[in-house]
Structure 1
Amino acid sequence: MFEVSTDRYGLPTGRYEVEDGRVGRAETFSDVLGEHGVDYQTILRLADAARPEFEVTNLRAGRPYRVYVNPWLQQPQYLAYQIDARRYVVFDLQHPDRTHVATRPVTRQWATVAGTVEGSLYETVVDNGGHPLLALRLSEVFAWQIDFFRLRAGDSFRLVYEARAVEGDAVQPGDIVAAHVRHRGEDYYAFRFESGAGDAEYFNRAGQSLRRQLLKAPLQYSRISSGYTNRRYHPVLKEYRPHRGVDYAAPRGTPVRSVGEGVVQRAGYEGPNGNYVKIRHNGTYTSGYLHLSQISVASGDRVQQGETIGYVGSTGRSTGPHLDYRLWKHGSPVNPVTLELPPSQPVPLQHRDAFRATVWALLPRLDGESVFARASSGAGPRWNDRTAPAGPHLANR
């Protein structure tokens, strides 16, 4: 018996004349098949057969496709379209009901990327061989501990993540598994762990959740142009006065996110504040966002932590695009940069041993060396002072 070889779309090679192409700008499914003589009724049946896994209206310009032509009948038999790196759809032009969507297997393995910041986090990750998405994910992991706008030269990071590949070609990476950031002389650790509730969270070495009531900053990438101070020279009023907020310089239109869950108290234009949103998070904290170009919420709306509530602008008393971010505690202004918030729930007691095992396995990858001491009897590993995640008394971040 002869073994029939197949191509990347699972179709037999050697039986058909193959024509490779790419979807042109503004080209539709009908356009692609019409060029090969497929009638309109068959095109409609093919579109129906692909649903709901794939809508033919979602063809994207530049994506590859392959047409298989029967050399004896000189008519097309199949059209294979690459949906994304993993998925593809095979349209059976002679038997539309046999149309199907398939997925290529993805190989996964842990990989490490590390670097010392000289410019931006994004540039450092990419310069050290990491996918750009990892910079965003790292900032999200430590969103409650580190203001990534305040990274400075000499800060460093090392992260372990799930590298993914399809047929040997790298695709978008999976989650960050663990991370270590040294920022302004302080060490911050994160370990991804699923405690049984269904959703994985990030915890520090002591098993305390990294999630906090409020995010450290309302923008993902920018820089602080003016800090919280009792005396600042106002560029418009030309006088010294207190500045009870933090100014973030960012391009007009940059999304502004709510630092926490809450209810919108104000959303509209308010004199010197320009387009202004104020959110009450609980009985303790309230946040404000000034000079927005657009507002995406209305008074009375409930918003989630990280939800976009507006966009950076220069409305009101402002000399250029920026966000003036304010935070109040029990009605009094506080400095959001220096404010320390308590963590959410720690790793549940019944999962503490499994969490310790996770940390024990990952710490050597983060530190680049073995960080475990062995008992003098040689009976096995034990936690030393540097790595023990067992108690809240440890000064672990």
Structure 2
Amino acid sequence: MKRITLLLVLIISFSSCKKEIEKPVSIPVIVKPKPIFKFGYNLDNYNVIQDTIKSGESFGIILDRHHVFYPKINEIATKIKDTFDVRRVRAGKPYTILASKDSTEKAQVFIYKHDKINATVIDFKDSVIVAKRHKNPVKRVVKTVEGVIDSNLSVTMDSLHLSGVLTNYVADIYAWTLDFYKLQKGDSFKITFEEKYINDSLFAGYGDVKSAVFKHKGQDLYAFKFVADTINGVPEYYDEKGNMLRSQFLKSPIKFQYRISSRYNLKRRIAYYGNRIKPHLGTDFAANIGTPIIATASGTVVESTRRGGNGKFVKIKHNSTYSTQYLHMRNQNVKKGQYVKQGDVIGYVGMTGNTGGPHVCYRFWKNGKQVDPLSPKLKLPEAEPLKESIKPRYFEFIKTLKYQLDSRIIPVQEPEEIREIIAKN
């Protein structure tokens, strides 16, 4: 019996030792951090210096401060001038310098950031000096926003936490078809647009406005972005019937936030002149001093000067038939002989000449005679409409876009059930 008991004790003891021996030993694992690559460089190999260009700083001053001396700076500027003009660096722009990790801490790469997406990378660490463009990968997210006008478009867009940049995009799209001064309280809109993001989180501005609709005076004013010529064409905006929104002349020389203080009137009487009839041959758009004035159509500047009661003004010849003039500017932004495009800023609202308040007097010539550009009787030339052969493709293209604007369902992709609903309608 004693032998059996002793044997059991030995077996239990052996089993316990075996368990202790087999117990795994915990070995700490050292995980090396992954190298960080940006702009095509392993940042672990450099001292990374990030800063913003200060007022009065130049490319040369910045590199000199980081131990690159002027013979080398001049060589860099000369070799990269076809890609990047170092004289064009601007105060307020961010930049990154990749410097050596040795005791000299000498700059080897200069990265100038034009905006959140685009940069110029200048590499001069070796004898070969290289300048190249860099573009951060951008993710585009399609969003839709709805709003109701309470006072004006800018205030409503701001209340929706949308940038003035997007407001300007929308104003440009509807510049030919909608007078933003005449928007009424209760008018509404719906816009489908793109937001651009870097690394899925850093907002980098707006992309395309894909479609929009304004409900104004009981009418639905649609806008759809479409490329008619798939080979060489540029995108334009069209309504639901395929009519182009753009026409040859804008409705106003000011985008929005103005009021018409005086219209074209051949029988106007002025108390200052003894209540005599003194025709007003222009349309006065009242706005704050400094408000940008834009060309209502493309053309050549034939006058940019100051004269008598007109004050400072610009006159543009658009073709052999039409010319426009913009009076009482604070200052001009263009010179005689300069070609301007529709929408270019040609000056700023002021009070020069004979004027009782800040405004731009907009004058319009047809065949050498001043006429009322806002008169419904004046038939201004329109841009070319869609060709009949292209319209079927266009109507197919806008089906989903229009359905999204007309309903509250905003699918990222067009599912089968939505195609069926559209087909039935």
Same fold (TM over 0.5): yes
Q: Following TM superposition, by how much is the alpha carbon of 1:205 offset from its aligned partner in structure 2, in angstroms?
A: 0.3
Match of 2:294? Answer: 257
Match of 1:375? Answer: none
Q: Which runs of 5+ in 1 are unaligned?
A: 372-377, 385-397
Letter in 2 for 1:313: G
Q: TM-score, normalised by structure 1?
A: 0.79
Q: Following TM superposition, by how much is the alpha carbon of 1:273 offset from its aligned partner in structure 2, in angstroms?
A: 4.2
Match of 2:413? Answer: none
Distance 1:220 1:380, change over 3 A: closer
Match of 1:185? Answer: 218
Q: TM-score, normalised by structure 2?
A: 0.75
Work out which of the two has the higher radius of gyration on C-alpha atoms and give 1 or 2: 2
Match of 1:391? Answer: none
1:39 & 1:266 partners in 2: Cα distance? 48
Q: Following TM superposition, by how much is the alpha carbon of 1:324 offset from its aligned partner in structure 2, in angstroms?
A: 2.1
Question: Equivalences for 1:83-162 in 2 at 5 Å?
Answer: 83=113, 84-95=115-126, 97-101=128-132, 102-162=134-194
Q: Structure 1 residue 13 and structure 2 residue 51: aligned?
A: no
Distance 1:75 1:328, change over 3 A: closer
2:381 & 2:123 partners in 1: Cα distance? 58
CA contact (8 A) 1:254 1:311 kept: yes
**Structure 2 counterpart of 1:202, from 218, 222, 237:** 237
**Which has the larger displacement, 238-247 or 206-215?**
238-247
The CA deviation string for residues 299-349 of structure 1, in whole angstroms up to 9 with x for no partner, is x88765434555433344321221222446674743616566564322222
2:213 & 2:363 partners in 1: Cα distance? 29
1:82 & 1:192 partners in 2: Cα distance? 33
2:347 & 2:107 partners in 1: Cα distance? 50
**Structure 2 counterpart of 1:350, from 364, 367, 389:** 389
Q: Structure 1 residue 322 and structure 2 residue 355: aligned?
A: no
2:188 & 2:374 partners in 1: Cα distance? 23
Question: Equivalences for 1:296-307 in 2 at 5 Å?
Answer: 296=334, 298=336, 304-307=341-344
More helix by share: 2
Q: Following TM superposition, by how much is the alpha carbon of 1:132 offset from its aligned partner in structure 2, in angstroms?
A: 1.5
Q: Following TM superposition, by how much is the alpha carbon of 1:258 offset from its aligned partner in structure 2, in angstroms?
A: 3.4
CA contact (8 A) 2:403 2:422 kept: no
Distance 1:31 1:309, change over 3 A: closer
2:91 & 2:318 partners in 1: Cα distance? 44
Larger relative contact order (Cα-Cα within 8 Å, sequence gap ≥ 6): 1
Q: Following TM superposition, by how much is the alpha carbon of 1:85 offset from its aligned partner in structure 2, in angstroms?
A: 1.2
CA contact (8 A) 1:258 1:307 kept: yes
Distance 1:153 1:228, change over 3 A: farther
Q: Following TM superposition, by how much is the alpha carbon of 1:195 offset from its aligned partner in structure 2, in angstroms?
A: 0.6
SS in structure 2 at match of 1:78? strand
The CA deviation string for residues 211-247 of structure 1, in whole angstroms up to 9 with x for no partner, is 2232111122322223455776647447385655432
SS in structure 1 at match of 2:142? strand
Q: Following TM superposition, by how much is the alpha carbon of 1:188 offset from its aligned partner in structure 2, in angstroms?
A: 0.9
Distance 1:302 1:106, change over 3 A: closer
Match of 1:164? Answer: 196
Match of 1:393? Answer: none
2:89 & 2:302 partners in 1: Cα distance? 43
Distance 1:31 1:234, change over 3 A: same
Q: Following TM superposition, by how much is the alpha carbon of 1:268 offset from its aligned partner in structure 2, in angstroms?
A: 5.7
CA contact (8 A) 2:177 2:245 kept: yes
2:285 & 2:244 partners in 1: Cα distance? 27
SS in structure 2 at match of 1:362? helix
Q: Structure 1 residue 211 and structure 2 residue 246: aligned?
A: yes
Q: Following TM superposition, by how much is the alpha carbon of 1:146 offset from its aligned partner in structure 2, in angstroms?
A: 1.2
Distance 1:271 1:19, change over 3 A: closer
1:280 & 1:65 partners in 2: Cα distance? 43
Letter in 2 for 1:336: L
SS in structure 1 at match of 2:38? coil
Match of 1:289? Answer: 326
1:317 & 1:224 partners in 2: Cα distance? 17
Q: Following TM superposition, by how much is the alpha carbon of 1:358 offset from its aligned partner in structure 2, in angstroms?
A: 2.1
Q: Following TM superposition, by how much is the alpha carbon of 1:194 offset from its aligned partner in structure 2, in angstroms?
A: 0.6
- The alignment's C-alpha RMSD in Å is 3.5
2:387 & 2:155 partners in 1: Cα distance? 37
**Which has the larger displacement, 151-160 or 237-246?**
237-246
2:71 & 2:339 partners in 1: Cα distance? 48
2:72 & 2:192 partners in 1: Cα distance? 49
CA contact (8 A) 2:247 2:381 kept: yes
Identity of aligned residues (%): 31
CA contact (8 A) 2:76 2:129 kept: no
Match of 2:64? Answer: 34
CA contact (8 A) 1:267 1:276 kept: yes
CA contact (8 A) 1:287 1:326 kept: yes
Q: Which runs of 5+ in 2 are unaligned?
A: 1-31, 411-418
Q: Structure 1 residue 239 and structure 2 residue 275: aligned?
A: yes
